[in-house]
Amino acid sequence: MPEVTVELFVDIVLFSFLVSIALTIARIRNLFVAVMLSGIFSLLSAGLFTVMDAVDVAFTEAAVGAGISTVLMLLTLDLTTEQETDPIQPQIFPLIVALCTGGAMLYATQDMPAFGDPSAPVHQHPLADHFINTALQVEMHVPNMVTSVLGSYRGYDTLGETTVVFTAAVAVMLLMRGRRRFSQPSTIDAEPEEGVS
């Protein structure tokens, strides 16, 4: 069983699942179900990352996408209604914008190198083999190159990213805590009201 066709087959099947989920999410009216399907969506895209050998990215996507963001979306769903309100009039303009951006992106993928082919310019650049050869053997002896590049070669950027995460938390705290006086017992501890749909 040649390696490439196996990977290709799994890729195609997973991508078709992804497309079908996306269509269902768009079509469904019950927001609660849409949140659940978005949980599967991120789980599937994490599966695709593994098939394409990007294990660190798949790790993060699985933990954040399928875990935390589903919970946070459910919490917001608790504070808002559960049934999508119908749009006042058919949305033509967003459709046009979506089609234009989709078309532009499709057009742009024409001149991208095929996935993983060695003659792509990014592989030819001397920096690439500098990292691969020296990063592993001479300087760092860190088997996981991603961590060595992420932590040491671009350590300063990662420090910046950590502060970005820090500011995100501060922003959420400012937004959410602004209305302290309205806080009632939280939805998690409150008992389900009787007969309230």
Partner 1 sequence: MIVLHVISGVLLVLGSFFSLIGAVGLLRLPDFYARSHAVGVADTMGAGLIMVGLMVHTLTLIDSVGLHGEVMVLIKLAAVLTFLLVTSPISGHAVTRAAWRSGLMPVLADAPNAPDATAEGGQDA
Partner 2 sequence: MISLFFVVNVAVLVTMGIALSRAMLGPTRFDRILAVNMFGTKTVLLIAVYGFLTNRPEFLDLALVYALINFIGVIAVLKFSAYTAMTDAETDEVPR
Partner 3 sequence: MSTHGSIVRIGAKMLIPYIMLLALYVQFHGDYGPGGGFQAGVIFAAAFILYALTHGLKATKQVISPSIAEKLICLGVLLYAGVGIASMAMGGNFLEYGVFDHHDPSHGQHTGLLLIELGVGITVFAVMLTIFYNFAGRGRS
**Contact footprint for partner 1 (CB under 8 A):** 28-30, 32-33, 83
Q: Is 189 in the site for partner 3 (CB under 8 A)?
A: yes
The interface region with partner 3, picked from 14-22, 39-47, 123-131, 183-191 by CB under 8 A, is: 183-191
Q: Between 16 and 134, name the residue whose CB sits nearer to partner 2.
A: 16
DSSP letters of the chain?
Answer: --HHHHHHHHHHHHHHHHHHHHHHHHH--BHHHHHHHHHHHHHHHHHHHHHTT-HHHHHHIIIIIIIIIHHHHHHHHHHS-SBPPPPSS--HHHHHHHHHHHHHHHHHGGGSPPTT-TTSHHHHSHHHHHIIIIIIIIII--S-HHHHIIIIITHHHHHHHHHHHHHHHHHHHHHHHTTGGG--S-TTTSPPPSS--
Judged by CB under 8 A, which of 12, 22, 33, 68 binds partner 3? Answer: 68
128 binds, among partner 1, partner 3, partner 2, none (CB under 5 to 8 A by kind): none
Q: Is 194 in the site for partner 3 (CB under 8 A)?
A: no
Q: Is 148 in the site for partner 3 (CB under 8 A)?
A: yes
Q: Between 17 and 43, name the residue whose CB sits nearer to partner 3.
A: 43
24 binds, among partner 2, partner 3, partner 1, none (CB under 5 to 8 A by kind): partner 2
How far is CA 179 from each of CA 101, 175, 188, rounded to the nearest angstrom? 38, 8, 19
Q: Is 168 in the site for partner 3 (CB under 8 A)?
A: yes
Total residues binding partner 3 (CB under 8 A): 53
85 binds, among partner 2, partner 1, partner 3, none (CB under 5 to 8 A by kind): none
